[in-house]
Amino acid sequence: MTGRLLPTGTCWCGCGQETAIGSFFLPGHDKIAEAAVVLEEYGGVPAFLAQHGYAPGGKNPCEVLTAWKQRTRQRIKRPRSTPSS
């Protein structure tokens, strides 16, 4: 598995432009990168979904997203160590 990812100061889409501190991408460039990888590696979204078990009859992307949002909300509510500000 991949370890914790950290922004590098340059957009991860490959455009070569600088990003704001703490950002992986310029606004909207995450979607450019995502689309490029899906097209190049899978040929399109249906093949991408099927490859990961999300074809009809498999895992349901809408349900997974709803569950992910609920988990994320709970994670945000939990108290964390506060960074010095």
Site residues, Zn ion (CB under 5 A): 11, 13, 15, 26, 29
Handedness of CA 3, 50, 58, 54 (dihedral sign): positive
Both tokens assigned to 59: 């895992």
CA-to-CA distance for 30 and 50, rounded, in angstroms? 22
Distance CA 68, CA 65 (A): 5
Residue for token pair 């600088």: 18
Residue closer to Zn ion (CB basis): 23 or 47: 23
Name the residue nearer to Zn ion (CB basis): 17 or 51.
Answer: 17
If the CB atoms of residues 26 and 38 are measured against Zn ion, the closer one turns out to be 26
